[in-house]
Amino acid sequence: DIQMTQSPSSLSASVGDRVTIACRASQTIGSYLNWYQQKPGKAPKVLIYAASRLQNGVPSRFSGSGSGTDFSLTITGLQPEDFASYYCQQSYSSPRTFGGGTKVEIK
Amino acid sequence: QVQLEESGPGLVKPAETLSLTCAVSAYSISTGYYWGWIRQPPGKGLESMGSVYHNGRTHYNPSLGSRIIMSVDTSKNQFSLRLNSVTAADTAVYYCVKYSTEPPYNWFDPWGQGALVTVSA
């Protein structure tokens, strides 16, 4: 299985901040990397697919980059509704695997 | 837009079988796409359990061994999960998902609202 490692596991930030979350794959996965946002008690929703493509309806303050083994999700201008947990997920091979998650909290 | 809704018992006894169904609306399963199950133990991360195609072809996470069976019922436009010999470690919120694609890429979207299943005597 491909192991996905996210860092940090949690962070504190203020509204308006620029936040970056890292995700590393245990082997090269090209651009087969997706990002999800999950709020408490809710199902995750996709933000970014194919490493850098913004899902329809997702605000442009979210962006993704990277390829191979190293990826990042950036939120430029953090909004109150962005305080949530974020997960990366590889779609290169089965079984699909997720990173351990990053919880973005209010400073 | 496609909507998914999980249903099934919220409490299962140890060593018994967990059974969940995902009803799909606004899209015919028989048209195509893969459909899957993802679970999340309380306070923990996400685990993809496997997927099933509209023709019944399946892919399972090897971590679940031979305990898992997924199936589709195109006449009812739903797909199902069965997990045998459950233990407390199988307590989780179970989500059904659709594999969305923009070849060669795919991702999980949409998700059902989730169904909490607790394994306890």
pLDDT tens across B87-120, in order? 999 999 999 999 999 999 999 999 999 999 999 9
Tens digit of pLDDT at every position of chain A (107 positions): 999 999 999 999 999 999 999 999 999 999 999 999 999 999 999 999 999 999 999 999 999 999 999 999 999 999 999 999 999 999 999 999 999 999 999 88
CA separation for the pair B121, B118 (Å, rounded): 10
Record: contact B111-A43, CB cut-off 8 A? yes
| B113, two tokens | 């609202």
How far is CA A62 from each of CA A18, A45, A105, B11, rounded to the nearest angstrom?
Answer: 10, 13, 17, 38
CA separation for the pair B14, B38 (Å, rounded): 20
pLDDT block averages, 10 residues each, chain B of length 121: 97 98 96 95 97 94 96 96 98 97 95 98 96
Residues in chain B within 8 Å Cβ distance of A94: 51, 59, 61
CA distance A85 to chain B (A): 10
Q: For B105, which DSSP code?
A: E
Helix (H) or strand (E) holding B35: strand B34-40
A93 DSSP β-pair partners: none
Q: Identify which of B91, B109, B89, B90 has the alpha carbon closest to the alpha carbon of residue B99.
A: B109
